[in-house]
Amino acid sequence: MAQLRRDYNKFVKLDTEILVAGPEDAEAFHDYWKKERLPFIGLPDPEHKVLKKYGQEVSLFKLGRMPAQVMIDKSGKVRFVHYGHSMTDIPENKELLELLETEMA
């Protein structure tokens, strides 16, 4: 999430909002967001409803949830999906910003 925070203003300039959903409860999310001063939205999803809807993988052998990034346009259409194969398998912001500039413009 530090990567997203670092380039948050670049995403905003492209009329993009970042929403991070995770398995923690509301109190844990609030505490983490406050501590890390994250400028984007955090969505607690302890029952995994949102994350299951978008196909995020959960693997006990790989320490829980694998990273997943989904870009959804304003009409609700999924425009990009990346499912990580490890906890470090996350696209660089540069790749995401380039996609926004071309695909979602």
Q: 33 with 4: CB under 8 angstroms? A: no
pLDDT digits (tens, 9 = 90+) for 8-52: 999 999 989 999 888 889 999 899 999 999 999 999 988 888 878
pLDDT digits (tens, 9 = 90+) for 42-81: 999 888 888 788 777 665 555 566 778 888 888 888 888 8
Cα separation of 82 and 85, whole Å? Answer: 10
How far is CA 74 from each of CA 18, 38, 40, 104, 105, rounded to the nearest angstrom? 13, 23, 17, 10, 11
Is residue 89 predicted with pLDDT exceeding 90?
no
Per-domain residue ranges of the chain: 2-16+48-102
List alpha helices for 1-105, DSSP H.
2-6, 8-13, 26-36, 49-53, 93-102
